[in-house]
Amino acid sequence: MASGYYELKKGSSGKFSFALKAGNHEVILVSQSYDAKSGAEGGIASVQKNGPDAKNYEKKSSSSSQPYFVLKSSNGQIIGTSEMYSSEAARDNGIASVQTNSPSTTIKDTTG
């Protein structure tokens, strides 16, 4: 059972984004910025759909060799990016957490 949730927010630039948070309130995936709230809501729906499937994750390393991952939709578009991790094992645990929590239908809308 997913205990995670999505936090939908509006930034100072007026753009919308979301974060998937685990049950402990740690951010495990962040979205790009969207011009419209409906775009961010569509992004959440895409994470809900694509998040559980391991084939949708691409494991990467930053320029400073820190492991992270991106979640892609079925058309190859990036729909979310993780934080930088201290190790590949920690990154893999992050992927597992997104797989577990992404089906959540709880959305905390802070856009006002």
Return the domain boundaries, the chain: 5-106
Parallel, antiparallel or unpaired: strands 57-61 and 107-109: unpaired
User: What are the tens digits of pLDDT across the range 75-106?
Assistant: 999 999 999 999 999 999 999 999 999 999 99
| pTM exceeds 0.95, yes or no | no
Residue 6 is predicted with a pLDDT of: 98
Residue 2 is predicted with a pLDDT of: 53
Q: What is the rounded average pLDDT for all residues in the chain?
A: 95
Q: Give CATH for domain 5-106.
A: 2.30.29.80
Phi, psi angle pair for 68, to nearest 5°: -155, 180
Residue 112 is predicted with a pLDDT of: 82
Interatomic CA distance for residues 86 and 78, integer angstroms: 22
pLDDT under 70 in the chain at which residues? 1-2
